[in-house]
Amino acid sequence: MEHDFHNWLRNHTSIQGLGKSVILGIGDDGAILPESSAHTVVTTDTIAEGTHFDTSIHSLEQIGRKAIAVNLSDIAAMGAMPTHAVLTLLMPRHFSLDEAIQLYSGILEIASNYNVTIIGGDTNRWDGNLVIGATLIGQRSPSISGWKLDGAQAADRVVVSGSFGGSISGHHLSFEPRIELANYLAGRYEIHAATDVSDSLSLDLQLLANASNVGLDIEAEKIPISNSLKAANSPKPLDGALYDGEDFELILTVAPAVFERIKLDSDVPCQLTDIGEVTPKEQGLRILDSHGTPNPMIPRGYIH
């Protein structure tokens, strides 16, 4: 099966357009990329059975897709364009050739959709459960700055893409990483801070605030609630939006004047919502109710 799988892989990765920005690709000890006038962005994320997916519920195509999508979300949070990926796969011994191909089909489809060339990897069988690791490489123009976890500045608006909550009902597998949005904004507007919501909106807001040494005032009523969470008729949809996690939306902070310009730009490729303001650190993380009354926000998230 190992041999058949590698043959399949070679045939299906070569059609992905090696040669485009690759000097040497899959099959050697390493890949070689040409010299570049852009900055190189590198991010890595591993997903594992029982923690990030459940092979008894999710299809192998969905799982393969997710392994790439979570990394693309990090690339988006850097304001960068993805270009290349390397993969590592630990497959259970009982995996068949057909199962390995299903998994890789999900990987190759999303890679192709985002113009990511798979340039190498490492596949092993072992006695444990399925583990898929990916390192994504991207490019960003040296003229772009910001997009940093510690970049939030006092009086910035806190802006989020999309909506939040209930991702466990499927969105954590099917989400589109915010690559298009990130690249639209990165080329046009000065973004101070950026991160993606993997743990939960509240936890990732906390990470950003702590890194930036600021407080945040978040207005409860402005947080966009996902349709799946609305449809679930949860008694506390706000809790779902703050704590569910794996939304893979972007949190950005921008100067108020910049956000005024973004609001007037009808070409922004997805919904952006202003949910609050960057405040002095002493105020901490606060959630403001409909009367504007602040309460401390206690961050928590989905425990994998």
Q: Is 148 in the site for its own copies (CB under 8 A)?
A: yes
Q: Which stretch binds its own copies (CB under 8 A): 105-113, 129-137, 227-235, 266-274?
A: 129-137
Between CA 166 and CA 226 the distance in angstroms is 7
Closest to its own copies by CB, 41 vs 241, is: 41
Closest to its own copies by CB, 64 vs 121, is: 121
The answer to whether 125 and 92 have CB atoms below 8 angstroms apart is yes
Angle at 266 between CA 260 and CA 271, to 5 degrees: 80
Quick one: which of 8, 12, 46, 286 contacts its own copies (CB under 8 A)? 46
CB of 41 to its own copies, least distance (A): 5
Quick one: which of 18, 81, 107, 133 contacts its own copies (CB under 8 A)? 133
Q: Which stretch binds its own copies (CB under 8 A): 61-69, 95-103, 126-134, 152-160?
A: 126-134
Between CA 258 and CA 266 the distance in angstroms is 14
Q: Which residue matches tokens 């100067």?
A: 255
Q: How many CB atoms lie within 10 A of CB 50?
A: 10
Q: Which helix (H) or strand (E) holds 81?
A: strand 81-92
Tell me the two tokens of residue 278. 């960057």
Quick one: which of 64, 68, 103, 121 contacts its own copies (CB under 8 A)? 121
Alpha-carbon distances of 232 from 42, 167, 236, rounded to whole Å? 37, 12, 10
Q: Which stretch binds its own copies (CB under 8 A): 53-61, 79-87, 212-220, 226-234?
A: 79-87
Q: Which stretch binds its own copies (CB under 8 A): 43-51, 56-64, 99-107, 279-287?
A: 43-51
Q: Is 168 in the site for its own copies (CB under 8 A)?
A: no
Q: Is 220 in the site for its own copies (CB under 8 A)?
A: no
Q: How many CB atoms lie within 10 A of CB 31?
A: 20
| Cα-based torsion angle of the residue sequence 235, 238, 243, 246 in order, rounded to the nearest 10 degrees | 100
Q: Which stretch binds its own copies (CB under 8 A): 57-65, 76-84, 257-265, 267-275?
A: 76-84
**For the window 227-266, what string marks contact with its own copies as x by the rule CB under 8 A?**
----------------------------------------
Between CA 209 and CA 277 the distance in angstroms is 11
Q: Is 62 in the site for its own copies (CB under 8 A)?
A: no
Q: How many CB atoms lie within 10 A of CB 277?
A: 20
Between CA 206 and CA 259 the distance in angstroms is 21
Between CA 209 and CA 204 the distance in angstroms is 8
Q: Is 80 in the site for its own copies (CB under 8 A)?
A: yes
Quick one: which of 67, 69, 75, 272 contacts its own copies (CB under 8 A)? 75
Q: Is 304 in the site for its own copies (CB under 8 A)?
A: yes
Quick one: which of 58, 65, 66, 84 contacts its own copies (CB under 8 A)? 84
The answer to whether 254 and 189 have CB atoms below 8 angstroms apart is yes
The answer to whether 251 and 195 have CB atoms below 8 angstroms apart is yes
- Interacting residue ranges for its own copies, rule: CB under 8 A: 23-24, 27-46, 48-51, 74-75, 77-78, 80, 84, 86-88, 90, 119-122, 124, 126-129, 131, 133, 135-138, 140, 142, 148-150, 194-196, 211, 304
